[in-house]
Structures are given as C-alpha cells and as structure tokens.
Amino acid sequence: MEFISPAEDILGTKIDIIDGIREADLIYKGMLLLDGMQTGTHLIMDIGGGSTEFILIKEGKKAWSNSYPLGVGILHELFHKSDPITLSELEALKTYVLETIADMIAHIKEHKPAFLAGASGSFEILQSMSGYEISHHEISHIDVQQFYDLHDIIINADETERAMLQGLPPERIKLIVVGMALKKIIVDLIRPQSILVSPYALKEGVIHEMLSF
C-alpha cells in the first residue's frame, strides 16, 4: 500500500491488483492475437521478477495455466551466490524449480507441447543476442541449439564478461543467469521443436479485453 495509495492519488483512479492466475489469462489473450498461436500445442512462459506464469494452449484454446513464485528476482536471491554461478547452485535451483512446478509436469506429459512460447522481456534477449531483429508485431523463432549455446555462454560468464556480451542490455546483466537457467529447465522438460518469441503479452491482453466489452 506504500506504493498503491500515492499512485492512486497521482492518477486519480483506483488501482486493481491482480493475482497470478488473472495475469496468466491476460497474457494468453494477448499472445493469442498473433498469427501462429491459434494452431498447435504451446507452452507459454512469461518470466517476471517475482513470479513466472505458464499457460498451456492447444489449437488456440487454453488447456491449463498457473503462476509460480519463480521470478528472477527470487531465484537470484536464493541461488546466485557465486559469480560465475556454481554447478551446485544450479542443481539446487533446478531441484527447487522442479519441486515447485510438479503439478505442471503432469500437464506437460498429457498435452506434449511442441513449442515453448516466451512472452517478450527475457525471451527477446534471445533474439538480440542471436543477432536477430526484434519484431514488434510478429512471432519470431529461435533455434533450440542456439538457445543452448547462449545458455552455456551466459552461465559460464561472470558479471564483467556478461557486460561485454553483444545484445545483452545492461539492466539484464544481473538477473540473466537465473533466467537462462530457468528457461533451460523448461526446454529440457518439453524438448520443443522451436522456441517462439512473442512481442505481445499482458498489456496487449488488457487492451484486447477492454476493446471487447
């Protein structure tokens, strides 16, 4: 409330706080506006600072969704103690993540998503670091092997080395390590044909919902 009350005074309107499930629903609605998301089976992943949302969609319909306290801010605080991060820290992070998403693993086995679709933000870094131009209105594809190559580079680099990596914004240098580790756990789980990067996410879902009334 230390932030909400002053913000409401400045804006002159009431601010609604949404939970993770509601956030996942809006992310789904935003990403579904893009060509390519209406067919096939996708696992949508939206990594935030405090939580990560997952949505399984099949032929454009939401099959399942959930929100977990697996944001990069939390994972960095819990596990990134050394620089470069150590193998034991990575193993501890992996164990924690897999225990947290245990219910999701059953849904992955049932629906067998062919694609991992990342919502903006940390997934756009995969584009910029791969040398691709970031699209603002279309789905982009990242080769899975390219992802693994980038993962290894980032995981094995210290902060100074990460600061010199082309395409990595300065504001991402600190948290990119646990973000890539989290993505790898999911990629290893579903073994996608391709990683999709969506420029649309929550805000597009909000706009679409508002215009639909």
Is the peptide bond prior to 84 cis by the omega test (within 30 degrees of 0)?
yes
Tell me the average pLDDT across 146-150: 95
For range 108-125, the mean pLDDT: 90
Q: What is the dihedral of CA 4, 6, 11, 16, to 10 degrees?
A: 10
Is 135 strand, coil or helix? coil
Ramachandran sector of residue 154 (left: φ over 0; alpha: ψ -120 to 50; beta: rest): alpha
Residue 187 CA neighbour count, 13 Å, CB half: 21
DSSP string for residues in 84-134: SPPHHHHHHHHHHHHHHTHHHHHHHHHH--SEEEEESTHHHHHHHHHTPPP
Domains in the chain, ordered, with CATH? 19-212 (3.30.420.150)
Instruction: Give the pLDDT of residue 2.
Output: 65
The predicted pLDDT at position 71 comes to 95
Q: pLDDT tens digit string along 25-46? A: 888 888 888 888 889 999 999 9
What pLDDT is recorded for position 213? 65
* Mean of all residue pLDDT scores within the chain: 90
- Give CA separation, 100 vs 70, 90, 210, in Å: 8, 15, 33
Q: What is the pLDDT of residue 143?
A: 93
* Range 1-5 average pLDDT: 68
Cβ-based burial of 184 (10 A; exposed 0-12, middle 13-18, buried ≥19): middle
Average pLDDT of the segment spanning 155-173: 95
Q: State yes or no: pLDDT of 1 exceeds 60.
A: no
Contact 212, 164 (CB under 8 A): no
Instruction: State the average pLDDT over residues 139-157.
Output: 95
Q: Which residues contact 8 (CB under 8 A, 6 or more apart)?
A: 14, 15
Q: Residues of the chain with pLDDT > 90: what percent?
A: 64
- Checking if the pLDDT of 136 tops 70, the result is yes
Mean pLDDT, rounded, for 74-85 = 98
Residue 173 scores a pLDDT above 90: yes
* The pLDDT of residue 76 is above 80: yes
